[in-house]
Structure 1
Amino acid sequence: MNLEHVFVCGNPALDFAATLRARRSARFEMFVSPDRLNAWYVESGVVDFVSPGQDSDVEEAIVVREAVYRLVTARRLGEPYDDEALTVVNAAARKPAAAPRLTTAGRRTDATPAEALATVARQAVELLSGPDVPLMKECGNPECTRVYIDRSRGMRRQWCGMESCGNKIKAAAYRARKKQAQTATAH
């Protein structure tokens, strides 16, 4: 399987919220089709299979994703929840979720797009009402808007992921220091 999505946030609900990239600048939408949305559900491990979806499934997922992002941001900043976002996430979480089943090969979860979305919404409810709330941080890369769970020793992690953001920022800082040192020795 060719993974096209990045899962560095430490929680499926946070990875889901991060599917709109670079919210402050270039905005890059990952959910451009029902197939891309379904690929996210499978690649994230939320479900093993999703039945084909419609454009309306993508539209609904984007509405829920944005509500999750608003709630995560409010919770992280210690601000009150947006009532509309609460309504959207709670309504999605109330719908039937994907049900795992035991097979001779192990556990398998097949879902409709609506069941997969309900599963993610429930994960958001669990996250935002659970013990990981104090561990939520926003990536230190100014271009990135991912929120992640920092389980590092001493809570010193600064990036959503080294490959996706940390290496870029560290390399840029190194180049800036090197350039500054060259400029200083040239004078």
Structure 2
Amino acid sequence: MNLDHVFVCGHPALDFAATLRARRSTRFEMFVTPERLNAWYVESGLVDSITPGCEQDVRAATTVREAVYRLVTNRVHGEEFDREALAVLNGVARREPVTPQLTLAGRHNEGTPDQALATVARQAVELLSGPDVPLLKECGNPECTRIYVDRSRGTRRQWCGMDSCGNRIKAAAYRARKKTSPALGAH
């Protein structure tokens, strides 16, 4: 699997939770170094620039990520929030977030890894207490464990993203049909 960060979930907190991929099988960790974590913060648009991080930032981020994933999963399955995950998320959400600054070139978000994490935690609080909760769905690809916001017409979306999962599933189904169909016309 490649190390490109993917943003297909429709909300930054969900994309953050999806940085541990394929949770039910191979479990692929995206936050392998402080640099990879900071790259996610920048690529997600959370910050324009960020101070260098350390291993402790990675541990803190993965702890919050797992709390977010647990709480989102609770919501998707109509369960009560996990109290431990709630305490983790709320504790980090109380910290100082990234503060936007106005510069001659426009808006500039600069922060530390801790501020970026607090911002993600606050976004998760907004998501899990907001109007999009009924639109949360888990990707239909059994290998994928991403949860996304389904804003499609009639909420009929089945995959986190066509490029990442939809095309793969459709291609596999097509190949399976091709294997069985030649026998029909071979008389």
Normalising by the residue count of structure 1, what TM-score does the alignment of the two structures yield?
0.97
Superposed CA RMSD in Å reads: 1.1
Q: Residue 15 of structure 1 corresponds to which residue in structure 2? A: 15
Q: Residue 121 of structure 1 corresponds to which residue in structure 2? A: 121
Cα distance in 1 between the residues matched to 2:154 and 2:65: 30
Cα distance in 2 between the residues matched to 1:186 and 1:16: 51
* 1:84-106 deviations in Å (ceiling 9; x for gaps): 00000000100000000111111
Asked if 1:106 corresponds to 2:106, the answer is yes
Cα distance in 1 between the residues matched to 2:89 and 2:115: 14
Structure 1 runs, 4 residues or longer, greater than 6 Å off: none
Report the AA paired with residue 133 of structure 1: V
Asked if 1:41 corresponds to 2:41, the answer is yes
* 1:98-147 deviations in Å (ceiling 9; x for gaps): 00011111101001000000000000000000000011100000000000
Q: Residue 50 of structure 2 corresponds to which residue in structure 1? A: 50
Cα distance in 2 between the residues matched to 1:78 and 1:51: 39
Cα distance in 1 between the residues matched to 2:129 and 2:91: 16
* 1:13-54 deviations in Å (ceiling 9; x for gaps): 000000000000000000000000000000001111110000
- In the alignment of these two chains, the number of paired residues is 185
**What fraction of aligned residue pairs are identical, expressed as a percent?**
72
Equivalent residues in 2 for 1:1-187, closer than 5 Å: 4-186=4-186
Cα distance in 2 between the residues matched to 1:186 and 1:123: 58
Report the AA paired with residue 182 of structure 1: P
Cα distance in 2 between the residues matched to 1:121 and 1:59: 15
Structure 2 unpaired stretches of 5+: none
* 1:135-175 deviations in Å (ceiling 9; x for gaps): 11000000000000111111011000000000000000000
Structure 1 unpaired stretches of 5+: none
Tell me the secondary structure at the aligned position of residue 182 of structure 1: coil
- How big is the shift at 1:186? 4.3
Normalising by the residue count of structure 2, what TM-score does the alignment of the two structures yield?
0.97
